[in-house]
Amino acid sequence: MSTPEIRTVANTVELAKEAAELFVWFGQQAIARSDRFQVALSGGSTPKALYSALASPEMSRQLDWDHVEFFFGDERCVPPEHEDSNYRLAHDGLFSPLKISADRIFRMYGEMDSPDEASRSYEDVLRNRFGVSAPDWPRFHLILLGLGDDGHTASLFPGTPALREETRLVVPSMSPKGIAQRLTFTAPLINHAEAVMFLVSGTGKASPVRDILEPRQHAEVPLPASLVKPEAGRLLWILDRGASAQLTMAKQQVVPHEE
């Protein structure tokens, strides 16, 4: 398991820029190596600024978007046009501006009546696109993640059965806030990625960030995001000053962007 690479930037604008540059870099590497870039997007509101940065003329011309396959690490169980849909945020901020072809966008079917059926159908999509059968795991080039103030990531919430899943790729989950019913990648699927990148902004996340990156001895139950430990991949945390505020000074150094 690799040591987390922590990059602290000044603010949300710099966070989006750093994340966009890394997204493009990972994409260029993947396309050069395997002729495609299979990336899972995160949910919540933080990615909005990332999408805007990626869709900018300066950034968007740096990646061959026809070779990018978009997936989602979690979804709320709502229709795709719903204001809380993670797919809708990406559609409006990234897919539509860049005119991404629908046949390279693989959303979770949050609108299905049965979340279990929806999660199993998404597992089939993943196995098909990655060409792997159980017990092998799809290996994403990059998985983007956010962090909740309770330490959740994707839709892996504290105290839920999804945290203990060891064989399935995608499972239904329940959120204590907002849209309750969710679909989420499982921890083992995330941990099989080549690279995982957390994007975290704001002082409201400083406490879980510290608990995850600088755990105190004999900490109580680990937070869900602590389960993210890529077995053979890179783990990056891109933090703004607010999110890194409770880390030791050494980890708060604002770093210039480099690969």
Residue of 16, 59, 154, 195 interacting with ligand 6PG (CB under 6 A)? 154
Least Å distance, CB 220 to ligand 6PG, is: 21
Asked if 44 is part of the footprint of ligand 6PG (rule: CB under 6 A), the reply reads yes
Among 27, 43, 224, 233, binds ligand 6PG (CB under 6 A): 43
DSSP-assigned letter for residue 104: G
Return the residue nearest ligand 6PG (CB atom): 146
Rounded to the nearest whole angstrom, what is the least distance from the CB of residue 76 to ligand 6PG in the complex? 6
Report if residue 45 touches ligand 6PG, rule: CB under 6 A: yes
Question: 77-116 mask for ligand 6PG (x: CB under 6 A)?
Answer: ---------x------------------------------
Q: Is 151 in the site for ligand 6PG (CB under 6 A)?
A: no
Orientation of helix 47-54 relative to helix 12-34, angle to 10°? 60
Of residues 154 and 197, the one with the C-beta less far from ligand 6PG: 154
Cis ω on the peptide bond leading into residue 47 (within 30° of 0)? no
What residues between 111 and 140 interact with ligand 6PG by CB under 6 A? none
Residue 21: strand, helix, or coil: helix
How far is Cα 43 from Cα 155, in angstroms, rounded to an integer? Answer: 9
Is residue 77 helix, strand or coil? coil
Q: Which position among 146, 151, 230, 242 is part of the footprint of ligand 6PG (CB under 6 A)? A: 146
Q: Which residue has the tokens 């890194």?
A: 244
> What contacts 24+ positions apart, CB below 8 Å, involve 91-95?
93/47, 93/48, 93/51, 93/52, 93/55, 94/51, 94/54, 94/55, 95/70
| 158 touches ligand 6PG (CB under 6 A) | no
> Which of residues 30 and 228 has its CB atom nearest to ligand 6PG in the complex?
228
38 near ligand 6PG, judged by CB under 6 A:
no
Q: Which of 18, 69, 74, 194 binds ligand 6PG (CB under 6 A)?
A: 74
**46 is an interface residue for ligand 6PG by CB under 6 A:** yes
Taking the CA atoms of 59, 20, 80 and 37 in sequence, report the sign of the dihedral they define: positive
List Cβ<8 Å contacts ≥24 apart for 212-221: 212/147, 212/151, 213/4, 213/6, 213/237, 213/247, 213/251, 214/247, 214/248, 214/251, 221/158
| 148 is a contact residue toward ligand 6PG (CB under 6 A) | yes
Instruction: Enumerate binding residues for ligand 6PG (CB under 6 A).
Output: 42-46, 74, 86, 146-148, 152-155
